[in-house]
């Protein structure tokens, strides 16, 4: 391996965990490259979902989740990281460079890294057990450490505005044939596919979860928990916001989303990112004003709750092989 970096096996293992990060429609829009003394994250714009994500915001947020996953993986392996966001203004695809240094893992590094292969996007009904407010506050602290603010929609009026925005976004996107075609292309995947939303991750029967409607994917094949509709879904909705809306802020939002999702997983919670209400510019602007006091830019909505007691374990969503997204920069 090159000067100052871990050995090849360590880097490969860290990248394999980094690409377990969630991304919009599991598009995995990233590339990782190794330089002389650092790792580099690039956006893969060939995987941009232009109808779903017109301005590429979801793509950058997705790359941010992979960046944080990499940092978590390296930390558990005994390597600290220093991140330089958008280090090359002349290359809009170059999102981050990551310097590494040896350090001892902390007590927190191991459990959060162990959550990476266990985390799943769970689109099913959640249980009726409420999420303690103290736990949501703790997740908010993890988000703040990554440069984002987590605002919980626990207030009934705030939740009403958010679920109404989700429903309106779904209605508007449903009238867009390009969006419908893109959604069909990127979902309903079956065995052998290495990207997209597999049929095994989309609920087969779906009538909404109380006040919440969710995006419907093609060729759904995931069974709801047995007897799951006997009790109401007590899942909470939270919004991740940033003080600015530039590329760096969107990367921070992705890093914060990764931190919240991994810690929630380590606590035994079920989670599901919801980008749909923020994919319509007018609705996103309304939520900025209504939910974030016009002071923060909403970047992602997360659904958090306790998995249903009758829920079967979810299969891992497939990922592209490391060799497809990882290579070396030419030596200087």
Q: Check residue 330 and report its DSSP letter.
A: P
Query: Rounded distance, CA 91 to CA 172, Å?
Result: 34
Distance CA 35, CA 189 (A): 35
Length of the chain: 332
Q: What's residue 89's pLDDT? A: 87
The residue-averaged pLDDT of 211-238 equals 87
Taking only the tens place, the pLDDT of each residue in 76-120 is 999 999 999 999 989 999 999 999 999 999 999 999 999 999 999
Asked if 152 contacts 269 with a C-beta cutoff of 8 angstroms, the reply is no
pLDDT at position 228: 65
- Choose between 232 and 178: higher pLDDT: 178
Q: At what angle are helices 8-18 and 57-76 packed, to 10 degrees?
A: 140
For residue 74, pLDDT over 90 is answered with yes
Predicted confidence (pLDDT) per residue in 262-307, tens digit: 999 999 999 999 999 999 999 999 999 999 999 999 999 999 999 9
Residue 91: the pLDDT is 94
| Domains of the chain from N-terminus onward | 8-117 (3.40.109.10), 133-305 (3.40.109.10)
What the block records as the tokens of 37 is: 């003394």
Question: Within a 10 A sphere around the Cβ of 251, how many other Cβ atoms?
Answer: 28
Q: Give the DSSP H or E segment for 181.
A: helix 177-185
Contact (Cβ atoms closer than 8 angstroms) between residue 80 and residue 101: yes
Average pLDDT over residues 248-253: 98
**β-pairing, 236-242 with 297-305?**
antiparallel
CA–CA separation, 130 vs 250, rounded Å? 30
For residue 315, how many C-alpha atoms fall within 13 Å in the half-sphere facing its CB?
15
The chain-wide mean pLDDT, for the chain, equals 94
Contact of 279 with 58, CB cutoff 8 Å: yes
pLDDT tens profile 25-48? 999 999 999 998 899 999 999 999
- For the beta carbon of residue 262, count every other beta carbon within 10 angstroms: 25
What percent of the chain has a predicted confidence (pLDDT) above 70?
97
Q: Has residue 251 got a pLDDT over 80?
A: yes
Q: What percent of the chain has pLDDT over 90?
A: 86
- Judge whether residue 230 has pLDDT over 90: no
pLDDT of residue 148: 98
pLDDT digit string (tens) for 136-146? 999 999 999 99
Strand order in the sheet with 94-102: 79-85, 94-102, 38-43, 30-34, 326-328
Output the DSSP codes for 87-145: --TT-TTEEEEEEEEE----TTHHHHHHTTTT--B--S-B-SPPPPHHHHHHHHHHHHH
Q: Is the pLDDT of residue 205 over 90?
A: no
Statement: residue 2 has pLDDT above 60: no
Question: Model confidence at 332, in pLDDT bands (50, 70, 90)?
Answer: low
Region 59-80 average pLDDT? 98
The pLDDT value given to residue 226: 79
CA distance 14 to 67: 11
**Cross-strand pairs, 307:** 126
- Helix (H) / strand (E) containing 283: helix 281-292
Kindly report whether the global pTM for this prediction surpasses the value 0.75: yes
């Amino acid at each position: 391996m090159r000067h100052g970096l871990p050995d090849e096996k360590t880097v490969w293992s860290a990248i394999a965990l980094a690409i377990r990060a969630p991304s919009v429609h599991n598009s995995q829009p990233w590339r990782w490259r190794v330089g002389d003394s650092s790792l580099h994250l690039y956006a893969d714009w060939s995987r941009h979902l232009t109808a779903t994500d017109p301005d590429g915001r979801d793509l950058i947020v997705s790359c941010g989740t992979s960046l944080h996953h990499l940092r978590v993986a390296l930390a558990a392996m005994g390597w600290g990281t220093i991140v330089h966001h958008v280090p090359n203004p002349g290359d809009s695809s170059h999102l981050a460079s990551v310097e590494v240094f040896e350090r001892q893992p902390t007590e927190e590094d191991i459990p959060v890294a162990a959550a990476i292969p266990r985390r799943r996007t769970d689109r099913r009904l959640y249980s009726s057990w409420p999420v303690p407010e103290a736990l949501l506050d703790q997740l908010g602290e993890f988000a703040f450490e990554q440069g984002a603010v987590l605002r919980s929609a626990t207030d009934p009026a705030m939740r009403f505005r958010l679920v109404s925005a989700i429903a309106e976004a779904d209605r508007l996107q449903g009238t867009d044939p390009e969006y419908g075609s893109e959604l069909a292309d990127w979902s309903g995947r079956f065995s052998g596919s290495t990207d997209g939303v597999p049929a095994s991750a989309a609920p087969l029967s779906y009538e909404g979860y109380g006040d919440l409607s969710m995006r419907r994917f093609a060729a759904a094949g995931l069974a709801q928990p047995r007897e799951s509709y006997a009790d109401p879904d007590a899942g909470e909705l939270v919004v991740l916001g940033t003080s600015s809306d530039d590329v760096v802020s969107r990367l921070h939002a992705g890093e914060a989303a990764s931190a919240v999702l991994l810690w929630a997983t380590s606590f035994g919670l079920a989670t599901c990112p919801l980008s749909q209400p923020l994919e319509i510019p007018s609705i996103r602007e309304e939520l900025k004003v209504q939910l974030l006091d016009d002071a923060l830019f909403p970047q992602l909505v997360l659904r958090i709750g306790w998995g249903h007691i009758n829920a079967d374990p979810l299969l891992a969503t497939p990922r592209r092989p490391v060799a497809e997204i990882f290579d070396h920069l030419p030596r200087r």
